[in-house]
């Protein structure tokens, strides 16, 4: 099954899910990713990157908290 980027609607072949808005995004919409721990990988999309609160969470290797840090 083909998946579409939930941000620009392009086809994606790899599941990159933004940890801050829960959307599947393509490589182009993915702004950055990092390994927060052995098991966890954090992905942030361009939309969330422009949100200071979310970007700060990302830089602190923190995941978005439910009900918080959401636009």
Interface positions with Zn ion (CB under 5 A): 5, 7-8, 10, 18, 20-21, 26, 29, 45, 48
Least Å distance between CB 62 and Zn ion?
Answer: 14
- Judged by CB, which is closer to Zn ion: 38, or 70? 70
Residue 28 three-state SS: coil
CB nearer Zn ion, residue 26 or residue 38: 26
Closer residue to Zn ion in complex, CB, 45/69: 45
Burial grade of 19 (CB within 10 A; 0-12, 13-18, 19 or more): buried
| SS3 of the chain: helix, strand, coil, percent, to 5 | 15, 25, 55
Give min distance, CB of 11 to Zn ion, in A.
9
């Amino acid at each position: 099954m083909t998946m579409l980027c939930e941000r620009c609607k392009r086809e994606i072949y790899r599941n990159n899910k933004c940890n801050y808005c829960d959307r599947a995004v393509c490589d182009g919409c993915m702004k950055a990713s990092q390994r927060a721990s052995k098991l966890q990988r954090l992905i942030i999309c361009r939309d969330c990157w422009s949100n200071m609160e979310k970007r700060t969470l990302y830089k602190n290797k923190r995941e978005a908290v439910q009900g918080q840090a959401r636009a």
